[in-house]
Amino acid sequence: MDLESLYQDIILDHYKHPRGKGLLDRPMGSAFHVNPTCGDEITVQVNQDPQGGLIIGYDGQGCSISQASASVLVELIHGETIEKSEEIRKAFLEMMHAQGAGDPNEDILGDAIAFAGVAKFPARVKCALLSWMALQDAEIQAGLLTTGEGA
């Protein structure tokens, strides 16, 4: 097995230099998720600017995959509309459930495309999805999203 296919440089870079890490002052929505098999934790928070752009905050601890995924999430979602956020989140979910097959859209996913390799490691898919699940919950809590979509 080659480790490089799992740990793409982009992932390692986000892990070592997380973007936008930190919690928001008064979030509209905030969700705390844990991965009960390994204890990884993530809090994702959401606010919305007057123009409808999302403001994302997060904090957490865990493995390289879960933490890099959260960092990529912020980079992708920050400033986007809720509609665009949903489009990206669904594309990410689809890629993670494709077991390495599928045809992820780099235009939508940006750096997150690096996680395509993670989808081949069933034990790590949960790590990659942790922050994205929390994002969905935070958006629901903020009243930006109704329940029951995706996942």
Main-chain dihedrals φ then ψ at residue 70, nearest 5 degrees: -65, -40
Q: Which is nearer to another protein, 45 or 66 (CB)?
A: 66
Which chain residues interact with another protein by CB under 8 A? 1-3, 6-7, 12, 16, 37-41, 61-65, 121, 124, 127
Contacts of 36 (CB under 8 A, 6+ apart): none
- d(Cα 116, Cα 95) in Å, to the nearest integer? 6
3-class SS of residue 143: coil
Q: What minimum distance in Å lies between the beta carbon of 9 and another protein?
A: 12
Expressed in angstroms, the distance from the first to the final Cα of the chain is: 29
Q: Which is nearer to another protein, 3 or 146 (CB)?
A: 3
Q: What minimum distance in Å lies between the beta carbon of 5 and another protein?
A: 10
Q: Which is nearer to another protein, 57 or 62 (CB)?
A: 62
Q: What minimum distance in Å lies between the beta carbon of 38 and another protein?
A: 4
